[in-house]
Amino acid sequence: MADLIRSRAFYRDGLGFETPNNEENPEIVFFDNGGTKLELFQREELAADIGGDSPPTTSDPAAAFNGITLAYNAKTKEEVDAIFAKIESIGGTIAKAPELVFWGGYSGYFRDPDGYYWEVAYADDWKFDANDMLIIEQSG
């Protein structure tokens, strides 16, 4: 139960995610997010993107990398920096500080209190719909 309360505080109080579950000892917590996407990417490439010369591996259970990251798609570079400015103070760990990246955007990675990797990213040409869903346009 303490882990659930800690994680809820990380997302609700730290990152500002809205939740209807504000009871003292919740059994489950739902977050109301404006938009969500699921992306598939090669595990080795994702690990390299997170760790550069020393990517995360599965050999260390405390830092295990299962090939999945969650994404926070920001609307400005400043929003990315603002998230990273508070990650450690709310219980997260910075895995890769934000930087300009090969695909033309700006991103970094952190681990939440449960060890899940998150990418916080921004690109100048991104557009969002009325529900804050990142619009992905097909090419070719």
Annotate 45-91 with DSSP letters as a single string: HHHHHHHTTS---SSSGGG---S-EEEEE-SSHHHHHHHHHHTGGGT
User: How far are the Cα atoms of 17, 24, 25, 49, 107 from residue 88, in angstroms, in the given order?
Assistant: 17, 24, 24, 21, 17
34: DSSP letter = S
On average, the pLDDT of the chain sits at 82
Taking residues 89-110, what's their average pLDDT?
95
Instruction: Name residue, tokens 């995610």.
Output: 17
Residue partners of 140: CB distance under 8 A and separation at least 6: none
User: Which stretch of 3-17, 19-33, 53-67, 124-138 has the lowest confidence by average pLDDT?
Assistant: 53-67
Question: Which residues in the chain are classed under CATH 3.10.180.10?
Answer: 42-126
Give pLDDT tens digits for 72-92.
889 999 999 999 999 999 999
Q: What is the pLDDT of residues 107-124, one digit of tens each?
A: 999 998 888 899 999 999
Q: Quick one: pLDDT at residue 108?
A: 97
Domain 42-126 falls under CATH 3.10.180.10: yes
Exposed / middle / buried, residue 80 (Cβ in 10 Å: 0-12, 13-18, 19+): buried
- Find the range with the poorest average confidence among 41-55, 84-98, 120-134: 41-55
